[in-house]
Amino acid sequence: MTVLRNHVGGRFVESGRTFDKTSPVDGTTVAVVHEADAVIVDAAVAAARRALNGRWGTSSVADRAALLRRIADGIEARFEDLLAAEVGDTGKPVELARRLDVARAAQNFRSFADTISAKGLDAFLTDTPDGGRALNYAVRKPLGVVAVIVPWNLPLLLLTWKVAPALACGNAVVVKPSEETPSSATVLAEIIAEAGAPDGVFNLVHGFGAGSAGELLTSHAGIDGVTFTGESRTGSAIMKAVAPRVRPVSFELGGKNAALVFDDCDLDRTIEGLSRSVFTNTGQVCLCTERVYVQRGVYDEVVSGLVEAAERLRPGRPEDPAANFGPLISQTHRRKVMSYQALAVEQGAKVVTGGGAPALDGDLAAGAWIEPTLWTGLDNAAAVMREEVFGPVAGIVPFDGEEEAIALANDTEYGLAAAVWTSDLDRGHRVAQRMDVGMAWVNAWYLRDLRSPFGGFGLSGVGREGGEHSLHFYTSPTNVCVGLTGPWSAEEAS
């Protein structure tokens, strides 16, 4: 049985308490995990502080960029180990994890090595507002000890998305992966150590949120900031935990993302993109579409195209080449998604496909399987059109005009992502610019340039990460103002 330990100050450490991580595919135990207690969290924060006070604290941008590139090489060298860890924890199809999760982890490190090399930290020089009488500039310093808390849906991708810029900027991190996906972070700890990061630069604590390692970390007096990806209500709890010490936070939270499909779209391309946006990773991507607004002229075709796409999905073991659809992450999450399915029907939905759980035989019967599900007949007041379900589900609603579509899409407390499907380029730009979201795609979904800003409006987050935006969060500026002597007038000199 795989045993997963905490990684503190360069050493793997056990705790007095363990929990089992089970597979969502068949319910078997994947690993026994040592849950960090207050002593271990304290030790991790202290180790991070020692690293900052040691040679890591004076490392150069060039040294750190080189470290990030070695970590990326290490990820590629241990690609199959990371793949096995990720697939074992999540049950997602191997091919999806290969293409998306693990590949992006290496890209995350390379991208931030490039960004920091291009920008340096001196790229934040300010203009000199006082002409020749003073020289103002800003030095950027690392934030310090950064707590990194991430969810289970794209575990390694989201962890490295935060660890890479944090290390690029010279911080030391204490990371807490989700209790549902502890495995890949443990392999990453080995890779980062092997790449030559000083002890204490990357610390890993395992456990749950409230009352466990997550809360112990976010309420710890020794942390200088929190970067978090997860549910909006968890973001709110973390905000409260850091409030007494007023620490900066960067939050990437939930979404209730809309797709807007116009009559003039390229139908084949739209249905292909839409179905990916609803069903990828069993709908467990924060960017997934859960609300589809379709102009009336193509409504029937879009509904039937999406139904066909849903019915082509095949559940099965991650390594089964005939399968392309994984389970939900856990039985708990499955119960939540099933309860939304029931609520949708109660509130008047017509289930056009799915609506339940597939009857799978043998070992798979114990897994957290769910059917891809599409609803029609709902309006924006329905709970499943307002609350994030985080499953392979969407409500499809017709509209007549552009203004109506924009109003429907923006009628939400969330504001993470939107996708506009149209062949009219003017309309594409016009509508995308009016979406109150962090990322608005036109004829695309989840197409990412890692240098562009990523984050959300409203319940979907606080701040932006990505490229230079990340460098801003993971550093703090000190403005230095050098007064210059000169023949100023007596009045000004006083």
Q: At what angle do helices 155-168 and 183-194 cross, to 10 degrees?
A: 30
Taking the least distance from each CB to ligand NAD, the nearer of 228 and 399 is: 228
**Region of 53-61, 77-85, 144-152, 370-378 interacting with ligand NAD (CB under 6 A):** 144-152
209 binds ligand NAD (CB under 6 A): yes
Q: How many residues bind ligand NAD (CB under 6 A)?
A: 31
Say how far residue 289 (Cα) sits from the centre of its chain.
Answer: 15
218 binds ligand NAD (CB under 6 A): yes
What's the rounded Cα separation, in Å, for the pair 151 and 51? 26
Taking the least distance from each CB to ligand NAD, the nearer of 22 and 229 is: 229
Binding test (CB under 6 A) with ligand NAD, winner from 111, 160, 227, 234: 234
86 binds ligand NAD (CB under 6 A): no
**Region of 22-30, 89-97, 106-114, 147-155 interacting with ligand NAD (CB under 6 A):** 147-155
Task: Give min distance, CB of 83 to ligand NAD, in A.
Answer: 19
90 binds ligand NAD (CB under 6 A): no
What's the rounded Cα separation, in Å, for the pair 279 and 227? 27
Task: Give min distance, CB of 467 to ligand NAD, in A.
Answer: 15
> How many other CB atoms are there within 10 angstroms of residue 462's CB atom?
16
Q: Report in angstroms the alpha-carbon separations of 154 from 86, 129, 164, 168.
A: 9, 45, 16, 21
Q: Could you confirm whether 252 is annotated as catalytic?
A: yes
255 binds ligand NAD (CB under 6 A): yes
Give the residue among 445, 491, 475, 103 at the shortest CA–CA distance from 270.
Answer: 445
410-449 binders of ligand NAD (CB under 6 A): 416
Say how far residue 191 (Cα) sits from the centre of its chain.
Answer: 21
> Cα 288–368–358 angle (5° rounding)?
90
Find the DSSP H helices in 313-401: 331-346, 383-386
Taking the least distance from each CB to ligand NAD, the nearer of 254 and 372 is: 254
**Tokens read off for 262:** 């116009």
Give the residue among 392, 366, 397 at the shortest CA–CA distance from 380.
Answer: 397
Instruction: Scan for tokens 């859960």, then name that residue.
Output: 290
36 binds ligand NAD (CB under 6 A): no
210 binds ligand NAD (CB under 6 A): yes
DSSP annotation of 97 = I
Q: Of 265, 286, 388, 465, which is the active-site residue?
A: 286
Binding test (CB under 6 A) with ligand NAD, winner from 149, 185, 192, 435: 149
229 binds ligand NAD (CB under 6 A): yes
270 binds ligand NAD (CB under 6 A): no
Residue type, 358: P
**Region of 6-14, 39-47, 249-257, 270-278 interacting with ligand NAD (CB under 6 A):** 249-257
**Tokens read off for 198:** 């000083």
3-class secondary structure per residue, 140-163 = EEECCEEEEECCCCCHHHHHHHHH
327 binds ligand NAD (CB under 6 A): no
Task: Give min distance, CB of 417 to ligand NAD, in A.
Answer: 9
**Tokens read off for 179:** 């209790």
So which residues are the catalytic ones? Answer: 252, 286
- Interface residues with ligand NAD (CB under 6 A) are 149-153, 158, 176, 178-179, 208-210, 214-215, 218, 229-231, 234, 237-238, 252-255, 286, 388, 390, 416, 456, 461
